[in-house]
Amino acid sequence: MTHMAKTFLITGVSSGLGRAFAVAALDAGHTVVGTVRNDTDAAAFTALHPERVHARVLDVTDDEAVFAVVDEVEKSVGPIDALIANAGYGLEGTFEETSLSDLRAQFDVNVFGAAATVQAVLPFMRGRRRGHILAVTSMGGLTSFPGVSAYCGSKYALEGILEAVGKEVAAFGIHVTAVEPGSFRTDWAGRSMTRTPRTIPDYDDLFEPIRAARRQASGQQLGDPAGAAAAVLRVLDEPEPPAHLVLGSDALRLIRAGRDALDHDLRTWEDLTLSTDFPREAEVSR
CB atoms within 10 A of CB 130: 13
- Taking CA 128 as the corner, what is the angle to CA 126 and CA 73, rounded to the nearest 5 degrees? 90
Sheet holding 82-85, edge to edge: 53-57, 31-36, 7-11, 82-85, 131-136, 174-181, 244-247
**Phi first, then psi: what are they for 203, rounded to 5°?**
-90, 0
Task: Estimate the crossing angle of helix 63-76 against helix 114-128, to 10 degrees.
Answer: 30
**Phi first, then psi: what are they for 197, rounded to 5°?**
-65, 145
- Taking CA 132 as the corner, what is the angle to CA 127 and CA 137, rounded to the nearest 5 degrees? 130
The rounded distance, in Å, linking the Cα atoms of 102 and 232 is 31
Say whether 60 sits in a helix, a strand or coil.
coil
Say whether 247 sits in a helix, a strand or coil.
strand
For residue 118, which amino acid is it? V
CB atoms within 10 A of CB 27: 14
Decide if 17 contacts 192 (C-beta within 8 A).
no
Residue 203 annotated as catalytic: no
Output DSSP code: residue 170: G
Whose CA is closest to 112, among 162, 57, 158? 158
| Residues labelled as active-site residues | 151
